Chains A and B, each alone.
Chain A
């Protein structure tokens, strides 16, 4: 590329940017940020929600101008000549930027015309892009009809209609299933490796950051660290352990218990065991005082280092972990654990000719956390909507808490709580008004309503923001408010649809702590998620694809299906991909035909 290897492609010095917040107060989105991105590298920008990632990328793309500091991209001053930069870079915003009422081909052509790509260049470039993105068979399909993963790939293809001098990607993998995520990564790394295009991307997946050559960690507008990922993981060196219980204690409960230990900075379930990061200055021997637990040191990962880096700053991002754990219900569901509360029997859902859900069956017992996994378009959402009574099955039996949701709706729905994928409370109403409305909707009134709202305000620390409008809350608070509203009436069953999509690692940790605490009190929880590590929190998982259940069982059982000769200890993600690919591979007779 034209830029010499020694000169940074992007260089920022003391960048600052602030916005007017909802209450007219100034919010500092970026504060004194200085960095350099070298040519030919893959750079990741990581940090919790609201850290300033999108703002920084928009500054680089010349879509915003910094309040202070200097920023040069490809040698051009952003403030002076944003157009010169926009002529040369590729940029994919968080919200695709595709025209949904245009076909795949029309979207590509539009961007090729914008970049002045000649007809002969197109002939060379299009087949390559099609091969890269596997969108070849769908060129005439409208972009709006593509699945989430395909949209992202098309968005990427549109920015690559000509070889850019620099590629900026804002959270390209949010809401994308593991399979598509892997494909997207293949494209990006090929681009850097083979074409030498420098790429900067922001991500909430810390394992993705670990694959980059250069990582910048942003937190509350400040750059906490920049350098190779090993610099971050190095922070946790010698403090990471794999913990296994001799007594066969479930990983989820062990994780919850370990998180409460003062010496433990972070704990997460993984492959039936628990991975912990110990605090700085904790006693040498991790096993001291914990009988029946085996601690084995393991090499630190990027994520461990990230937790170490952020933990001292976590004060505002999330409540102290003890609060999250103390999710005491006043009237926990009746203690008949083990009874099936959800029975799905050969349920089919057709939309016209299209079979979205094809004869699925499963049972969920009281107090279980049940995970519904699957690639985009597998039928998860349809199944979920049928379980909540939002859709009527075409055929088959569906019983929730012993009732048919369609027949005796009011009383059956009284027993369920639902947290949707996207924030779905009233944006125009304040936090308190939202809670008040949903309490009334669930038939709570008088002193009881007051009491439950107070409970929710206290449990989710919503008191200080009670008068803020729902729509203006930061992502993490929206999530808490939605969960609080779904728990006001103390439901027996809680439905969570991709509730952690796009959330940062800290918020996810906090979220799961609440969910496991609820499950311990007998609440049945059904979740869908694209984070395979979260599947480790579940008691049982079902993997769906093309409307069918491909695999069902405990996390350990599912993981076992991913084991190969070369990979004896597969992660949940390995297993997931193995299951899907095995099912998608053409059967022997098909191959013969």
Chain B
């Protein structure tokens, strides 16, 4: 038997297919097709969790995605422990294990429930008011304790082992919601032949047809009709039917995010099955058929386990075959709860009484309930529920006061009316309008190509809903380009109709009371809290929301928003539309990070770029560092060497013999065309027209504001061809910058730009022996100093493959940069390496490269500059063409601030104690004895130990730096003040003799 409360003959599940599961370690049996909620209820379990703030015992309120209370932790294995799963959404599988949350030591005895007794302390705004003092205690004491005591489930502590998938889809008509309205709209659209996607969050389509026993369409009972229609739609080539798929976000231009739960309902998901699939759908037209959500009644202790929505109780009975109690009471303000009473009564459940707030309503459901012998009390209110871990009674009183009567019940089914689900409409930026007669917000002004149909549009009754939806579906298809339809509209033979209801607190929970009548179950917000927020000065509903946290829990106030709004409006003495509705934002229901991140994690988070020479460096035991997306060899430690020793050795070898360095990541752009030199003149500060082919020049690129944007050596290969190098990190933006000017400001120039970064591998060979290493491998290039002086470039062959051979140096030594097609990069490297071995050459990494260039005072854009440094600040005024009429940045350079005295200038720093290495980023002051905060006059931009100089060296930006040569400045650090001397930027070979051989 799958639970004592399973009613034989009721529901649509097959009793034969049982599934075992556990809750808090206790074993139970359910049926395949159950949700965890229906299976627990079948076993008489209502108590499933403790509330967020007061730790009050909580049960199952709903049968769907709106569930605020029944949040559980689903444990599949050590790594798969999903918290805050709604038991009403989680489908049962054999072996499912669930635990309750937010209780200690057990669900029925929870120490935290002391918060409930102390609740006068925890009123609205409690945290804001209480934990203000002492200020420092918030971070160290209050916040950790509050987080421990509050909170819901426990986050998994291992990496997510599941995989997720992601798809883009396009369709003509996207129908969101698979109840009667959605199905009718999808049928109408699909019959025209256009591409349709129909999605519903439930495992089975049908929406409220799952419980609405009085519905008949096309001669079939409503749910059977829905299944037949879905089978028809699924068989159509132009239709994609997505069950278990929630539309969580509606974005610009009919772009809708859906999450499909692919395998969370399976006992043993296959390895090829993702857990969830993210659908990013672009639709020409969207039909919103998201239905309506039933509201609870706001009365004292309305959160006791066993107190639930009437429609939910009906769903549990009519779909799952579960009676939510044996002796139920009904509390309502509209007709719909009568259906629950009638269906339960017919199934053999005792209905103790219906309590109806309305004075003398009439109608067929009321007659039917009376005919079944159910006691009906009009004009009365349930003023409180009895019981603690499970409701045991309801106390009834005439709504205007009078004698109380307590009726024993084991469940209370309530309905305050139905709230149209305008969430997605609102997310689409549509504006809702308040219907004063029916007291509900419905879609008003549309912002996108969508239409709302059925209950979410405020349409009452199945017949009107299907008519409206079918017409809207056909129109959506037409608007998306369809020709005439050839289908027939479904005919509604019988339906139920329920509308109206009430908003706000029920009698007995009014302004004169202090009872706990919950508005928002998940965040423990009562009617009293909302009134208090208004009394304390909150006027806007947005403020009331934030002060009380009403509607801010993970259920986003699906059941609570309208009640909260009505209570605030009443307290403010204003009509509801003047108080306004809070904004609905995505996601409609919680979405896992996994679904959004999908494959983009770990190695797939960001592309990794490796040079052609990477495998060689890896084999040599290089340690790599990330430079943007590139992996670069950082240093090449030999056995027993730490980084410091390796870098020292590499630096010394380059200056004494030679070093090989993989410079392939340098950005490279080829500037080609008759106007190439003119273009270079405009984009760089330097003059280019007179640079002879075969020569190179160090170029500086500015932004229009006069600040350094990038730099690099440029070789002129021919009068119409420049080989431009950029910084490693700057390559894409420099290309963008060049394209921008070429396309939009200088389109008259006949120039083509090509990124050649990845076409050429670059091997820097630097040091006194560099020419000896290269020369034997080169054909067709005279490498003598006369023929190939410093800063020149030749094309020829090396190792038999084409090369662009630059003589240039970023070390201050005689140096070359050998460019070869990337495919030959490693082979040429290995040939040069073999040759280098004859001359004592070493491989060096980026760290040694940094030290060597700093010894020579060569700057690195982005390290020694920060976007506020001019060429003059960097000591590079010589590179700005004084006779040029125009270049990008020419006007920026003469801005008053850029020519003012006292600007920060790049200088060298030598610590008084040569062994002390400054910290990069450290601040510099004139007087270390001044009061804190001290006046900072600059900061260290580069700092290294230089084995070649036998001391530490540093570069720094210092206000008026070049006028301070020889001055002593100070760098205050946590362990004391470091004395430094201001020097020039060149620390090694000041005359530069080594460059030329």
* Binding between chains A and B: no
Residues of B at under 8 Å CB distance from A? none
